[in-house]
Amino acid sequence: MPSSTVASSNLSRRSLLRGTAALAGASMLPRLARAAEWPTRPVKLLVPFAAGGTTDILARVVAAKVSEEFGQQFIVENKTGAGGNIAADAVAKADPDGYTFLVGTPGTHAINPFVFSNMPFDPPKDIAPVIIIARVPNLCSVTNSLPVKSVAELIDYAKSKRGELFYGTPGLGSTAHVSTELFRSMTGVEITHVPYKGSAPALTDLIAGRVHLMIDNLPAAQPFAEAGQIRPLAVSTSKRWPLLPDLPTISEAGVPGYDAASWFTIAAPAKTPKEIIVRLNASVDKFLKTEDGIARLRKLGADPVGGSAQDMQAYVLAETEKWGKVAEFAGIKPE
């Protein structure tokens, strides 16, 4: 090939590459501009559970703060059903434009695939992490008529009454369910699961003695413990709860290494622009690190977490692996 032709060919290739790069850069400009201007209209935060629960309360606290910062309303919308799958699926299929987010839980991110046979979405594929808002300890409590006053005594008593004790939960696959199955797997006790439709009816039966123990969310159980209607034995997290410093952890009280909690996140449709995710992450993370943010969440029984989207992704993957093993041990099968 003549040298002039080679030179012309190389020039054309360089021109093409420059043109392609220019086009790519041009196509990115509108997206970057939109991300820089975001939000220009109200943003929806879909909550998978009813108003008044921990997920809903945390969502409203965060929504109020980010609404102030961005000058746009972040509107909490309760979309219940299927253990959180209805709301999560709606987010997974929403336009990834930064105007629809999920306030997620262990169920929507990590546990539901082990419980539901026909998952309408793939959590790691269809949902993008934004931030972990908080972890919420569970409270290990027993009915007052049970003759135990510590976790060690509970284990001994349960082993002496093999198969005779019942534990209540808000439902199959709830964090209370898998937390208690984790307890069972680490202690060897034989106790029988009684699922309810929510914490309130389960706690009512715990008070009445129709079930013997629960490892349920601290905000739900603590009022009954403080009123003396149930007997608190320990918290489920690896560290003591700051507002209950005299109450040991389950790990300290007889089950070394035990650690379980509910956790609450913000997540987005998978293809949401990274720039928007970074901006929302930074806003929420800043609030969670303020004295006001820490005090408000701890008053609700929640421990602020924060961190990056990558931190959330790593945590969710670890939790998915952990609860998958517990589901296998417990014989929890998708229905």
CATH number at residue 229: 3.40.190.10
Residue 9 has pLDDT above 50, yes or no: no
CATH number at residue 281: 3.40.190.150
Residue 106 has pLDDT above 80, yes or no: yes
Tell me the C-alpha distance between 287 and 277, whole Å.
Answer: 16
Q: What DSSP string describes 52-85?
A: TSHHHHHHHHHHHHHHHHHTS-EEEEE---GGGH
Question: Which of 44-53, 126-135, 229-238 comes out lowest in average pLDDT?
Answer: 44-53
Asked if residue 45 lies in contact with residue 74, where contact means CB atoms within 8 angstroms, the answer is yes
Residues 142 and 107 in one domain: no
Tell me the C-alpha distance between 50 and 35, whole Å.
Answer: 31
Averaged pLDDT score across all residues of the chain: 90
DSSP E strands, the chain? 43-47, 74-78, 100-104, 127-143, 165-169, 191-195, 213-217, 230-235, 261-269, 303-304
The answer as to whether 22 is a domain residue is no
The answer as to whether 127 is a domain residue is yes
Residues 157 and 180 in one domain: yes
pLDDT interval class at 117 (50, 70, 90): confident
Residue 228 backbone zone (phi > 0: left; psi -120 to 50: alpha; other: beta):
left
Residue 135: both structure tokens together: 């972890």
pLDDT in tens, 168-216: 998 888 899 999 999 999 999 999 999 988 888 999 999 999 999 999 9
53 against 227, higher pLDDT = 227
Residues 170 and 214 in one domain: yes
Residue 10 has pLDDT above 80, yes or no: no
Question: Which of 65-69, 227-231, 238-242, 249-253 comes out lowest in average pLDDT?
Answer: 238-242
Residues 142 and 231 in one domain: yes
Residue 109 has pLDDT above 70, yes or no: yes
Question: How large is the greatest C-alpha to C-alpha distance in the chain, in angstroms?
Answer: 98
The answer as to whether 278 is a domain residue is yes
Residue 268 has pLDDT above 70, yes or no: yes
Residues 146 and 159 in one domain: yes
Residue 290 has pLDDT above 50, yes or no: yes
Total domains in the fold of the chain: 2
pLDDT score for 51: 84
- Find the distance separating the first CA and the last CA of the chain, reported in whole Å: 68
CA atoms 77, 80, 83, 88: torsion sign:
negative
pLDDT score for 7: 43
Residues 184 and 222 in one domain: yes
Residues 274 and 215 in one domain: no
The answer as to whether 167 is a domain residue is yes
The answer as to whether 246 is a domain residue is no
pLDDT interval class at 335 (50, 70, 90): low
Q: Which of 233, 223, 166, 184 is nearest to 200 (CA)?
A: 223
Residues 150 and 185 in one domain: yes
Residues 173 and 143 in one domain: yes
Domain termination site, one of 217, 235, 253? 235
Residue 120 has pLDDT above 90, yes or no: yes
Residue numbers of the domain that contains 129: 41-135+262-330
pLDDT in tens, 68-87: 999 999 999 999 888 899 99
The answer as to whether 245 is a domain residue is no
pLDDT interval class at 65 (50, 70, 90): very high
Residue 5 has pLDDT above 60, yes or no: no
The answer as to whether 105 is a domain residue is yes
pLDDT score for 8: 47
Residues 242-251, mean pLDDT to the nearest whole number: 94
Residues 143 and 216 in one domain: yes
Residues 91 and 226 in one domain: no
pLDDT interval class at 228 (50, 70, 90): very high
Percent of the chain whose predicted confidence (pLDDT) is above 90: 75
Domain termination site, one of 200, 235, 270? 235
Residues 212 and 64 in one domain: no
pLDDT in tens, 11-58: 455 554 555 555 544 455 455 556 778 999 999 999 998 888 889 999
Asked if residue 123 lies in contact with residue 323, where contact means CB atoms within 8 angstroms, the answer is no
The answer as to whether 9 is a domain residue is no
